[in-house]
Amino acid sequence: MKNFLSLTMLAAASTASPVLLPRAEGLVYNYTNSFGLAFSQMNASLPNITVFATGGTIAGSGSSSSSTTGYSIGSVTVSALIDAVPEVLNISNIAGVQISNVGSEDITSDILLKLAKQINEVICGDPTMSGAVVTHGTDTMEESAFFLDSTVTCGKPVVIVGAMRPSTAISADGPSNLLQAVTVAVDPKSKDRGALVVLNDRIASAFYITKNNANTLETFKPVEQGFLGVLTSDEPFYYYPAVTPTGKISFDISSVTSIPRVDILYSYQNMQNDTLYNAVSSGAKGIVIAGAGAGGVSTSFNYALEDVINRFSIPIVQSYRTNAGEVPQSDVSSTTATHIGSGFYTPQKSRILLGLLLATGNSFDDISSAFAKSRAA
């Protein structure tokens, strides 16, 4: 849809309207693009970037400069975030949109739909926009990044960034991460790589990245696949040209209004079958198992899986609870029910993918085929 949004309309689509960011003294002129995003520019030749803020630690504050735990999440606005890093104005003209201001555990599918649709419209739909930066909490960042990787497909850079330490910490990593994210977003070499995650001097594909540590700065890693690139003195360097990950699926969400509920169940010794039936009775339309090893569950629970698949026609994807690996179809196949091996998708990314497949009207067989594209075996 090509209708142009006024400031009022765009404000209604998010929790706050685009903000006009102050600039240092000097030659300044105002520019409002056709989608209502307001820029205050010092150099009209610089790329235009919009920062979509959702909250998280990067927008958090603590009681002291030494507090790196127990801080308040989502207490700093997008305007304050950008004002704290004036260096971004040397490389781009910035507009900001406050999508939400919550911890990433409170990011919902409704927020993700709103975010993806806004990026598709005001970034992909405007030739004057070079890309987007999304500030986000790290705990569920990989899920939101994977969602954007699957639903924003115009080729412009979409860079997701966060922090492991709050903005008030003496060793806060947020300002440097934000500057690097904007630097990556304006780099022409960042195009056609899907959504990117930038933290701690590293550039990674949202398709593969996962959080590996609850506390340390060097937490986001694509364990098997490796990083796409590195930043040295805030200069991006890519190891490889742009390439599409094997099995990647893109979705048109322009007509999607909601994402069906998909639950994740964690496999463990003496796992009880009632957890599965409770998920079904509570409204789950799809289920992902974080299985032991390559998707493994107990014999009793496997019987329950087959009962649910056959009686309720609910797709069940078997993934892994380990930090990396693959669930090949041969490890979950059965002659009495259609089990689905997740391939290389983690449980959390399997949940996002299964939800999008259900939301876009795919059949059971289509869902099984979609996951098969990511499997090596």
CA-to-CA separations, 224 to 140, 219, 221, 323, in angstroms, rounded: 20, 14, 9, 10
Residues 6+ apart with CB under 8 A from 248: 149, 150, 194, 207
* Domain end point (choices 222, 238, 254): 238
- Hey, what are 312's tokens? 């309720």
Question: What is the span of the domain harbouring residue 31?
Answer: 20-238
pLDDT in tens, 296-336: 999 999 999 999 999 999 999 999 999 899 999 999 999 99
- Hey, what are 214's tokens? 């609850």
Distance CA 96, CA 210 (A): 27
- CATH code, 166: 3.40.50.1170
SS3 304: helix
Q: Is residue 4 in some structural domain?
A: no
pLDDT for the residue 228: 97
Residues 6+ apart with CB under 8 A from 362: 370
Q: For residue 252, say whether it is annotated as part of any ligand binding site.
A: no
75 and 113 in a single domain? The answer is yes
191 and 64 in a single domain? The answer is yes
Cβ pair 181, 92 in contact under 8 A: no
The structural domain count of the chain equals 2
Give per-residue burial for 166-196: e unless 16+ CB within 10 Å, then b.
bbbbeebbbbbbbbbbbbbbbbeebeebbbb
Q: Decide: residue 117, CB within 10 A, 0-12 exposed, 13-18 middle, 19+ buried.
A: middle
* Domain end point (choices 238, 273, 292): 238
Q: Is residue 254 in some structural domain?
A: no
Distance CA 5, CA 314 (A): 40
- CATH code, 342: 3.40.50.40
Instruction: Tell me the average pLDDT across 42-53.
Output: 86
pLDDT in tens, 287-297: 999 999 999 99
Q: Is residue 322 in some structural domain?
A: yes
154 and 194 in a single domain? The answer is yes
98 and 169 in a single domain? The answer is yes
Q: Decide: residue 12, CB within 10 A, 0-12 exposed, 13-18 middle, 19+ buried.
A: exposed
Distance CA 216, CA 12 (A): 38
This prediction's pTM: 0.88
87 and 217 in a single domain? The answer is yes
138 is an active site residue: yes
Average pLDDT, the chain: 87
pLDDT for the residue 25: 42
196 and 79 in a single domain? The answer is yes
213 and 153 in a single domain? The answer is yes
66: pLDDT strictly greater than 70: no
102 and 148 in a single domain? The answer is yes
164 and 299 in a single domain? The answer is no
Q: Which of 36-40, 154-158, 187-191, 340-344 has the lowest mean pLDDT?
A: 36-40
132 and 209 in a single domain? The answer is yes
Q: For residue 139, say whether it is annotated as part of any ligand binding site.
A: yes
Q: Is residue 277 in some structural domain?
A: yes
pLDDT for the residue 60: 57
Q: Which of 39-43, 327-331, 359-363 has the lowest mean pLDDT?
A: 39-43
Q: Is residue 10 in some structural domain?
A: no
Q: Is residue 195 in some structural domain?
A: yes
Distance CA 121, CA 158 (A): 13
Cβ pair 220, 199 in contact under 8 A: yes
Exactly one of 57, 68, 151, 183 is catalytic; name it.
57
Q: If you write DSSP's letter for every residue of 349-368 in order, what string do you get?
A: HHHHHHHHHHHTT--HHHHH
Q: Is residue 11 in some structural domain?
A: no
Q: Is the dihedral of CA 183, 123, 12, 17 positive or negative?
A: positive
* Domain end point (choices 238, 271, 289): 238
128 and 56 in a single domain? The answer is yes
Distance CA 289, CA 87 (A): 45
Instruction: Tell me the average pLDDT across 38-49.
Output: 76
Instruction: Tell me the average pLDDT across 3-30.
Output: 39
Q: Is residue 8 in some structural domain?
A: no
pLDDT in tens, 233-245: 999 999 999 999 9
- Hey, what are 211's tokens? 């959080």
Exactly one of 50, 54, 135, 138 is catalytic; name it.
138
Residues 6+ apart with CB under 8 A from 80: none
Give the chain's radius of gyration (CA, Å). Answer: 21
Of 121, 106, 110, give the one whose Cα is nearest residue 18. 121
99 and 225 in a single domain? The answer is yes
Residues 6+ apart with CB under 8 A from 153: 250
18: pLDDT strictly greater than 60: no
pLDDT in tens, 74-132: 667 778 888 788 888 889 998 889 999 999 999 999 999 999 999 999 999 999 899 99
